[in-house]
Amino acid sequence: MGNCLFCRIVKGELPSDKVFENEEILAFHDINPVAPVHVLVIPKKHIASAMEIGEEDRTLVGGIHLAIREVARLTGVAGDGFRIVTNIGRHGQQTVPHLHYHVIGGRQLEWRF
């Protein structure tokens, strides 16, 4: 996916402020944070959204959850709690069509839409 923003970050063509990385997954600070901690956790493989996850991605998705735990520890939000969000499509207000999980915390969050 040559012009996908997050694929370009994965390839190093665009900069990112990395928090965690392994062979399959990258986590970096969101450029427009909504809370003291706002990290995006993405698969290096291009998957357009959570609706495009396939059977072959079972292990990868499990790995993303383990990476999110690690990001929570590294950013200091594991103890007080945080939120994981993945937006999908138009009603979900997904703006970057590459699967990503927002890890948001560092302050008391509210729950309303």
Q: CB 4 → Zn ion: shortest distance, Å?
A: 3
Whether residue 76 contacts residue 97, with contact meaning beta carbons closer than 8 Å, is answered with no
Using alpha carbons only, how large is the chain's radius of gyration in Å? 14
Containing H/E element for 41? strand 37-43
- Please check whether residue 42 is in contact with residue 26, taking contact to mean a CB–CB distance below 8 angstroms: yes
Contact characters 24-63, ligand AMP, x per CB under 6 A: ------xxx-------x-----------------------
Whether 43 and 60 have beta carbons less than 8 Å apart is answered as: yes
Q: Return the residues of window 32-61 that contact Zn ion according to CB under 5 A.
A: 46
Q: Which is nearer to ligand AMP, 14 or 51 (CB)?
A: 14
- Min CB(31)–ligand AMP separation in Å: 4
Q: Is 100 a catalytic residue?
A: yes
Does the protein bind Zn ion through residue 1 (CB under 5 A)? yes
Q: Which residues pair with 102 in a beta bridge?
A: 40, 85
Q: Which of 26, 72, 94, 98 binds Zn ion (CB under 5 A)?
A: 98
Element (H, E) at 82: strand 82-85
Query: Footprint of ligand AMP on this chain (CB under 6 A)?
Result: 5, 14, 16, 30-32, 40, 87, 93-96
